[in-house]
C-alpha cells in the first residue's frame, strides 16, 4: 500500500484528480481515479450530456507525474512533502475517447530522462477496460522551497 496522495503532492480537493497510487517502479507510476457524478464541473460541462473536461484529464496525468517525483525524492532521502512540482512543458496531447461521470481510469506515467533540474515524462489515461483515453508528453521541475 502506498502513502495517501495528499502525503505525496500538495494538491487538495476540489483540485485533486487521482485517488491512489496502485503501482510504482524506478521509472513508472500507475494511479487510479474514479470520476464522480457529483463533481461540480459536470453541471456546466455539457449539462445534458456530461463529459470530463480534457484539461482535467491532463491534470490527472500531471498529478500522477508529481506523485512519481515525490516517491522518487523520498527514495533519495527527502522527507514527504519536501518539494513542489512545477509543470514546465506540455506537448503532443492526443485525446482519443471521452470519459463520463462514473468512469474509472488508470493513469500511467513514465520517466523518459532527467536533465538540468527537469524530468521529461510521458503519460496516458486508460479506462478500466483498457481503452486509451489520452496520451501526453510533459516536463516537471521539482522545487524544494527555500527556508525562511
Rounded CA-CA distance 118/131 in Å is 30
Which residue do the cell numbers 502506498 mark? 2
User: Which strands, in side-by-side order, build the sheet including 118-127?
Assistant: 20-24, 28-34, 104-115, 118-127, 132-143, 84-95
Of 119, 115, 126, 129, nearest in space to 67 by CA: 119
Positions annotated as catalytic residues are 45
Amino acid at each position: 500500500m502506498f502513502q495517501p496522495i495528499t502525503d505525496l503532492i500538495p494538491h487538495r480537493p476540489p483540485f485533486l484528480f487521482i485517488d491512489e497510487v496502485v503501482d510504482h517502479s524506478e521509472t513508472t507510476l500507475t494511479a487510479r481515479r474514479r470520476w464522480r457524478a457529483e463533481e461540480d464541473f459536470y453541471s456546466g460541462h455539457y449539462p445534458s450530456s456530461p463529459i470530463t473536461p480534457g484539461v482535467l484529464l491532463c491534470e490527472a496525468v500531471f498529478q500522477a507525474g508529481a506523485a512519481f517525483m515525490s516517491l522518487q525524492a523520498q527514495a533519495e532521502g527527502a522527507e514527504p512533502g519536501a518539494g513542489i512540482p512545477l509543470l514546465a512543458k506540455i506537448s503532443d496531447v492526443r485525446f482519443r475517447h471521452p470519459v463520463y461521470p462514473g468512469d474509472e481510469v488508470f493513469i500511467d506515467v513514465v520517466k523518459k530522462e532527467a536533465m538540468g533540474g527537469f524530468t521529461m515524462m510521458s503519460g496516458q489515461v486508460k479506462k478500466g477496460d483498457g481503452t486509451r483515453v489520452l496520451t501526453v508528453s510533459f516536463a516537471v521541475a521539482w522545487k524544494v522551497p527555500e527556508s525562511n
